[in-house]
Amino acid sequence: MLAVEYIGDHAVERVKRDSVDPGPGEVRVRVAYVGLCGTDLHILHGNMDARVRRPLTFGHEMSGIIDAVGEAVEGWRPGDAVTVMPLDWDGTCPACRAGHEHICQNLNFIGIDSPGALQELWNVPAETLVALPADLSLRTAALVEPVAVAVHDVRRSELRAGDKAVVIGGGPIGMLIASVAREYGAEVLLIEPDAVRRRRIADLGTATLDPTEADQAAAVEAWTAGAGADVVFEVSGAAAAVRGATALARVRGTIVVVAIHPTPREVDLHRVFWRELRLLGARVYRRPDFEEAVRLLQAGAIPADAVISGTMGLDRVAEAVAELEAGRAMKILVDVQSTGARP
Ligand SMILES: NC(=O)c1ccc[n+]([C@@H]2O[C@H](COP(=O)([O-])OP(=O)(O)OC[C@H]3O[C@@H](n4cnc5c(N)ncnc54)[C@H](O)[C@@H]3O)[C@@H](O)[C@H]2O)c1
Ligand SMILES: [Zn+2]
């Protein structure tokens, strides 16, 4: 079977290897589609070399069909359509014992810390499987993982129907947060400097703002009749966005930090104090977020076709990465079985 590996030094390689029978408690999945995301780019750029063992088969957003089931696996059969929640926790650390397994202090993020989905046949622990309904296409289902991120972020914010929410950053995650928040009844304003991304989001009916042109604080104040937004999602990772975010939230409003900031940022703590703001982190997802993501995609509540900007074969991963690096794409799916090669 074929797999794609990050071998270090910005390089990916397509390799042939033998498939392995699933061990006890494991399932072998014939991977259909894998979505590439910003984290994959960080891996390829070497930013995570201290963490990842090379060669690494990366990829953690996926859909597929069960190919074989190992010993002691119950409830799953070959032919079942599935996605994988790529988290493997130890169950014993203080975070796990407090019920926060998704952010286990010794978390194995599958696809970063251990082999991921960019291979034709992938063995995973059966507990990571999430069932897909028959009427959800495998292409659309490859979005379950990033949609689950958005669901988790919106749930963490405690947003309510009728709330006004600002999303800072209109990449795939910001776009999905805007969709989920609107589905839950919020009015959304999305701030994004890139004109192409802004247009893509505006075409879906979400109000947008260019931060390089408009005074964001004044615009949000006008939009909320002087109150400020109920919820602000920081999804850009930009220092300037963090500095500005506190000015956008209402008294006792909530700011959710979704982006992964590579270095410490300056925050206007006076504003946090003055308005009694809540500043929350939101990291990955829990199983109910995954299940809700499946439901939202099945219900057509997420504009999957607007998020997926292209599909490429397993032999073109390097090209897909270059498209993403150039900022020309939103989400590219890798069609893992496209080469027609079989084990
Ligand atoms: N919390 C989690 O578990 C989790 C999961 C997935 C991704 N992430 C993080 O979420 C962030 C967003 O992911 P993505 O894939 O959408 O990334 P992305 O880089 O595609 O999107 C970020 C967007 O922010 C925009 N931006 C830059 N400066 C801005 C500013 N000053 N104001 C407004 N927008 C600005 C960029 O133009 C870009 O479109 C990343 O930091 C990513 O690492 C977090
Ligand atoms: Zn733990």
3-state helix, strand, coil in the chain (%, to 5): 30, 30, 40
Torsion of CA 120, 126, 132, 138, to 10 degrees: -10
Model confidence band, residue 312 (pLDDT cutoffs 50, 70, 90): very high
Q: What is the pLDDT of residue 328?
A: 82
Does 115 contact ligand 1 (Cβ within 6 A)? no
Instruction: Tell me the three state secondary structure of residue 234.
Output: strand
Does 35 contact ligand 1 (Cβ within 6 A)? no
Selection from 299, 297, 324 nearest residue 310 by Cα: 324
What is the model's pTM? Answer: 0.97
Q: What is the pLDDT of residue 228?
A: 98
Instruction: Give 66-95 pLDDT, tens digit per residue.
Output: 999 999 999 999 999 999 999 999 999 999
Selection from 255, 264, 252, 201 nearest residue 233 by Cα: 255
Catalytic residues: 39, 42
Which of 178-192, 228-242, 323-337 is least confident? 323-337
Model confidence band, residue 126 (pLDDT cutoffs 50, 70, 90): very high
Selection from 61, 110, 105 nearest residue 86 by Cα: 110
Task: Say if residues 193 and 252 touch (Cβ distance below 8 Å).
Answer: no
Cα–Cα distance measured from residue 152 to residue 256, given in angstroms and rounded to the nearest whole number:
11
Mean pLDDT (whole number) for 181-186 = 98
Does 173 contact ligand 1 (Cβ within 6 A)? yes
Mean pLDDT (whole number) for 280-287 = 98
Mean pLDDT (whole number) for 200-213 = 96
Task: Say if residues 178 and 205 touch (Cβ distance below 8 Å).
Answer: no
Mean pLDDT (whole number) for 239-261 = 97
Mean pLDDT (whole number) for 20-24 = 97
Instruction: Give 102-120 pLDDT, tens digit per residue.
Output: 999 999 999 999 999 999 9
Q: What percent of the chain has pLDDT over 90?
A: 96
Mean pLDDT (whole number) for 237-249 = 97
State both tokens at 1. 């079977």
Q: What is the pLDDT of residue 342?
A: 41
**261 CA distance to ligand 2 middle (Å):** 23
Strand (E) positions, 17-143? 26-35, 61-69, 81-84, 87-88, 108-109, 121-125, 129-131
Q: Which residue has the higher pLDDT, 42 or 341?
A: 42
Mean pLDDT (whole number) for 249-255 = 98
**25 CA distance to ligand 2 middle (Å):** 20
Ligand nearest to the CA of 61: 1
Substitution candidate for ligand 1 out of 192, 325, 328 with most atoms within 8 A of CB: 192
Measured in residues, the chain has a length of 343
Does 256 contact ligand 1 (Cβ within 6 A)? no
Task: Say if residues 204 and 306 touch (Cβ distance below 8 Å).
Answer: yes
State both tokens at 159. 């947003």
Does 168 contact ligand 1 (Cβ within 6 A)? yes
What is 235-276 written as a DSSP string? Answer: -S--HHHHHHHGGGEEEEEEEEE-S--SS-----HHHHHHTT
Model confidence band, residue 341 (pLDDT cutoffs 50, 70, 90): very low
Strand (E) positions, the chain? 2-8, 11-16, 26-35, 61-69, 81-84, 87-88, 108-109, 121-125, 129-131, 164-168, 187-191, 207-209, 229-234, 249-257, 278-281, 308-313, 331-335
Across all residues in the chain, what is the average pLDDT? 96
Q: Which residues surround ligand 2, an ion (CB under 5 A)?
A: 89-90, 93, 96, 104
Task: Say if residues 321 and 340 touch (Cβ distance below 8 Å).
Answer: no
Instruction: Give 140-170 pLDDT, tens digit per residue.
Output: 999 999 999 999 999 999 999 999 999 999 9
Sign of CA dihedral 244, 250, 253, 258: negative
Mean pLDDT (whole number) for 207-216 = 96
Sign of CA dihedral 246, 250, 255, 259: negative
**260 CA distance to ligand 1 middle (Å):** 8
Mean pLDDT (whole number) for 317-322 = 93
